[in-house]
């Protein structure tokens, strides 16, 4: 069976983003079902796969990264409201036997992602 992992890199400070709250939702029509909530460790990663085994199925998912709280905790002077608060990344899982890695590179004013390995 496949599994889903992520990590968060703080491109403004050049370091892993520790302590970022992440939520994972399964998207079905207009319903968003929260599956899990996790927090990144000192390496900007979650200690375990976010989704694995029988829960890992084909479909549409969304990771929500609470980066506004992270940057505030780092002492970054953000405007109110912050330009980026919660970064949503919606993606599809077509092959549930594969490993999907969805990293986030983030600063207070930009972000990017890709399908990693």
Return the pLDDT at 53: 81
Return the pLDDT at 117: 84
Name, in order, each residue with C-beta under 8 angstroms of 12's C-beta and a sequence gap of 6 or more.
71, 76, 106, 107, 108
Tally of domains in the chain = 1
Return the pLDDT at 31: 83
78 domain-assigned: yes
18 domain-assigned: yes
Residue 64's domain comprises: 3-110
116 domain-assigned: no
46 domain-assigned: yes
Question: For 49-106, how does the pLDDT look when each residue is reduced to its tens digit (9 = 90+)?
Answer: 999 888 889 999 999 999 999 999 999 999 999 999 999 999 999 999 999 999 999 9
117 domain-assigned: no
Interatomic CA distance for residues 51 and 112, integer angstroms: 21
The CATH code of the domain that includes 25 is 2.60.40.180
115 domain-assigned: no
Question: For 9-48, how does the pLDDT look when each residue is reduced to its tens digit (9 = 90+)?
Answer: 999 999 999 999 999 999 988 889 999 999 999 999 999 9
């Amino acid at each position: 069976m496949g599994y889903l992992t992520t990590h968060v890199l703080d491109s403004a400070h050049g370091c892993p983003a520790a302590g970022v709250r992440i939520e994972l939702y399964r998207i079905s029509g207009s319903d968003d079902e929260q599956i899990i909530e996790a927090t990144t460790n000192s390496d900007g990663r979650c200690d375990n796969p976010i989704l694995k085994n029988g829960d890992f199925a084909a479909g549409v998912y969304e990771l929500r990264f609470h980066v506004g709280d992270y940057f505030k905790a780092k002492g970054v002077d953000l405007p109110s409201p912050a330009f980026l608060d919660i970064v949503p990344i919606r993606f599809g899982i077509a092959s549930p036997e594969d490993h999907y890695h969805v990293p986030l590179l983030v600063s207070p004013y930009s972000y990017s992602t890709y399908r990693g390995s």
